[in-house]
Structure 1
Amino acid sequence: MTFSSEVKNEIARIIPTVRHCILAEILAIVYFIGTVSLSQNGELSLKINTEFSGLARKYFTLIKKTFNINTDVVISNSTLVKRKRLYSVSIVDAAEAKEVLKAIKLLKNQELVDDLPLGSNTVLLNSCCKKAFFRGAFLSSGSITDPEKGYHLEIVCSTMDDALFLKELMEDLSLLPKITVRKKAYVVYIKDSEQISLALGLMEAPTSLMSFENIRILKGMRNDVNRKVNCETANINKTVSASLSQLEDIQLIKEMMGLDKLTSNLEAVANARLENPDASLVELGKMISPQLGKSGVNHRLRKLSNIASQLREQVRRENG
């Protein structure tokens, strides 16, 4: 089972305790995956289609609990994905369909208002109702990536107006989503791990949230270890590279003029480096009498490098 399925299974079992939040979640389900049909004699019917049995069960329960309406449930094979089932939950009685649509403010004066902006829907006035709507929207048209692979939560909308409304609703809940266009759909998404944690909390998915946080913490620890290892490796490579360059300079000075021609301070550092090619600057400083600090050793090694550069230039001129 995917992480996205685990989240949906958890929140599909949540039944709000108050009517206004139930209506908000029904509104989200109907708005994202619902279909309102008119028969030849003008009678309304309301149906949702989903491949997620948990959502079909939840919608059936919400309708029964709130309106005492018995819905028709039909299970068929999905035409889009092989070995997937399609669950259709229908309210075929026109009066009952109107009752639901009127309660979620999609019916006004007995007329369907399918072009009514969600932002003006009075079902979504309360913060708790916005959370319920967000949960229903995710159940109906959302997904979340396995946190082991990456951080990405999204809800797919059919129009830009819907995407902009959902973005604004999520912002009211302290989320910071973005919108992108994917083929003919508009995707509202979050990629920040802390924001996804907040979203899971808002949808009341504590088990999934704990799992997500555990993975996020472990990934953070692994990343910290990797950064430290990479940093230490880079430092080691830098130290080895510098040491090799210093050895080349000192060897050149030794061959062309002899180390005994150097000042005693430079000769001491040069001999210490030749005898201890793998030592750090701090370690070299402790081998010299009197002892030197890291900056003092580095200063003398730079002087040796300058002398070696002068000798190389001298050879170049003589051979030129």
Structure 2
Amino acid sequence: MASTISTADCRISVSENIKREIYSVSTSVNFTYEIKKEIIRNGFENTCCKTAALSAFLRATGSIITRGPHVGFEIVTESENVAEYFVGLIESMYGAELKIAEVGTDNRNGRDRLVLDCVGERSFFILSELGLAEFDGEGVNLKMEIDPYLVENACCRRAYIRGAFLGSGSCTLPKEDESGSGYHLEIVFFGEALADNFCDLLAQFDVLAKCVQRKNSYVVYLKSKDSISDFLQLCGAENCLEKLDGLAERREMRNNINRVANCMQKNYDKSVLASVKQIRAIEVIDSVIGISGLDEALETVARARLSDREASLKELGERLGISKSCLNHRLRKLVKISEELTEE
């Protein structure tokens, strides 16, 4: 008995036992999952785009295997939605069935892990059609770079990028209250030439990615909010793009509030330090010559400061009926008098 999966572009038949096992692998709902879910929901319009996406998906998460005389492939994924989609796509396009090879948990990161393989009469034909391998007369020859024919059209280039992200892509966002950037999107490949090809592919859409080697793999990554926004727009993930923009706006608002608060705190700290210095100066004057020994203007300011030690210059000036600059001048004069008295 077969069940069906609804996608944006086709209805794909998948055997019931595979579907049950796929759904038994749980995936945490995070931003990566949301992006992949939206890409799958949008689907791929043409057969050429499906072929490009499937090729990229196998490049990013698959490997070539042999079993007896047959050359085939296996795919590893953490997402049941992604696995189900590509299982159905392969069945629909090539009439080949993928079998569950392993269901478990990755010991390195604790995430669910699903391994599917396809080895049989049609498996090498699929690899050839997807530009991954060819028979050169002596044996099977693996192609290490992106087949130019698969990405000849702009729509297929976009599909290839989306397929690669579905295979080994991930995206993390910073928390709203975190400082620094924290934005990170990456796609992992097992060959340097392929990773470089992928960077060139992104550059054709003005998305400038970097590549770094991580152990035995090559990681194509984006680190800025703007570049990730461009990538999501390229993938047609409009809902995820809206979520990203919303997060960026909230972080910017929080940062602005923090900057204003920090500025106000610094100004307050400076005001407090100045007030302490003024009060100490007046106390020195009072202990040596007495406040009454000052001229009338300075005596008035000195007594006003001592009576309200926490008042700002603006508040004190308004109370005395003088300008802030005039008050500041008289307070500085009091400090200078105290310094002269101390030196004596």
TM-score bucket (shorter structure): 0.7 to 0.9
Deviation at 1:227, TM superposition (A): 2.6
Tell me the residue number matched to 2:300.
268
Instruction: Name which of 163, 166, 173 aligns with 1:136.
Output: 163
Tell me the equivalent position of 1:72: 98
| 3-state SS in 2 of match to 1:175 | coil
Q: Deviations over 1:103-153 (max 9, x none)?
A: 3333456575534433x6232233332322222222211212244374222
Partners of 1:85 and 1:185 in 2: how far apart? 19
Equivalence for 2:274: 242
What is the root-mean-square deviation of aligned Cα atoms in Å? 2.8
Question: Secondary structure of 1:30's partner?
Answer: helix
Corresponding residue of 1:164: 196
Q: Does 1:218 align with 2:244?
A: no
Alpha-carbon distance in structure 2 between the residues aligned to 1:277 and 1:133: 70
Q: Percent identity?
A: 33
Whole-Å separation in 2 of the counterparts to 1:158 and 1:242: 63
- CA deviation string 1:148-168 (max 9, x = no partner): 374222222223333333333
Paired residues of 1:273 and 1:284 also in contact (CA < 8 A): yes
Deviation at 1:273, TM superposition (A): 1.9
Question: What is the CA distance between 1:249 and its match in structure 2?
Answer: 0.9
Distance 1:265 1:163, change over 3 A: farther
Letter matched to residue 308 of structure 1: S
- How far, CA to CA, are the matches of 1:88 and 1:48 in structure 2? 5
Match of 1:47 in 2: 74
Asked if 1:307 is matched to 2:337, the reply is yes
Question: Structure 1-normalised TM-score?
Answer: 0.82
Runs of at least 5 residues in structure 1 that lack an aligned partner in the other structure: 315-320
- Separation in 2, partners of 1:48, 1:233: 56
State the Cα distance separating 1:28 from its structure 2 match: 0.8
How many residues align? The count is 307
- The residue correspondences of 1:39-188 to structure 2 (distance < 5 A) are 40-41=68-69, 43-65=70-92, 67-74=93-100, 76-78=102-104, 80-81=106-107, 84-90=112-118, 92-93=120-121, 96-108=122-134, 112-118=140-146, 121-148=148-175, 150-188=182-220
Equivalent-residue separation in structure 1 for 2:42 and 2:290 (angstroms): 84
- More helix as a share of residues: 1
Mapped pair 1:8 → 2:40: no
**Aligned-pair CA distance for 1:85:** 4.6
1:229 has 2:280 as partner: no
TM-score by length of 2: 0.77
- 1:25 touches 1:133 (CA, 8 Å); kept in 2? yes
> Deviation at 1:281?
1.7
Distance 1:299 1:53, change over 3 A: same
> Relative to structure 1, is the Cα distance of residues 91 and 203 closer, same or farther in structure 2, using a 3 angstrom cutoff?
farther
Separation of aligned partners in 2, 1:91 and 1:259? 99
1:317 corresponds to which residue? none
Counterpart code for 2:165: F
Equivalent pair of 2:298/2:334 in contact (CA under 8 Å): yes
One-letter amino acid of the structure 1 residue matched with residue 42 of structure 2: I
CA distance in 1, matches of 2:172, 2:268: 37
Q: Aligned partners of 1:281 and 1:89: how far apart in 2?
A: 77
Counterpart of 1:49 in 2: which secondary structure? strand
1:295 alignment partner, one of 310, 325, 337: 325
Q: 1:75 to 1:45 in 2, by over 3 A?
A: closer
Rounded Cα–Cα distance in structure 1 between residues aligned with 2:280 and 2:105 = 73
